[in-house]
């Protein structure tokens, strides 16, 4: 199999998953397999599914963190910026911590609970 083809399938399969950090491992595998299959047929689906699962697992948010943020009592702040995964929260938004998960912060913005990577202030998950 041509290595360039494999790399192209892997890159295309990973793109939607990286852009949407809310993907879980299973969703990443399914999305990667679908995209890879469209480009490279059965072999592309296998490669895309494997890459998609790996990327999905890398960005998966722990369920215990999500449950902690759901139960937390924090006031909502209103901002004009879009509240979507990958966008940064403005510095005016106070990020709150969850003791057991120092690598994440959360905020309630425009009545939506979001989990944030604190150094970049990028939204990595929006609770539904």
Residue indicated by tokens 């943020």: 69
Residue 86, Ramachandran bin (φ over 0: left; ψ between -120 and 50: alpha; else beta): left
Q: How far apart are CA 112 and CA 128, in angstroms?
A: 8
Nearest to 4 by CA among 50, 53, 35, 39: 39
Residue numbers in the chain where pLDDT is lower than 70: 1-34, 36-37, 40, 43, 45, 47-59
pTM over 0.75: no
Domain spans in the chain, listed from the N-terminal domain onward? 3-58, 63-126
Q: How far apart are CA 77 and CA 43, in angstroms?
A: 48
Question: pLDDT value at position 38?
Answer: 74
Question: pLDDT value at position 30?
Answer: 63
């Amino acid at each position: 199999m041509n290595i360039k083809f494999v790399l192209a399938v892997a890159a295309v399969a990973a793109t939607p998953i990286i852009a949407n950090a809310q993907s879980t491992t299973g969703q990443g595998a399914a999305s990667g397999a679908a995209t890879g299959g469209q480009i490279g047929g059965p072999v592309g689906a296998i490669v895309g599914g494997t890459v998609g699962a790996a990327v999905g697992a890398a960005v998966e948010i722990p369920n215990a963190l999500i449950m902690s943020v759901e139960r937390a009592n924090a006031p909502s702040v209103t901002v004009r910026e879009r509240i979507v995964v990958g966008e940064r929260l403005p510095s005016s938004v106070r990020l709150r911590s969850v003791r057991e998960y120092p690598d994440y912060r959360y905020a309630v913005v425009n009545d939506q609970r979001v989990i944030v990577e604190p150094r970049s202030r990028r939204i990595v998950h929006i609770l539904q």
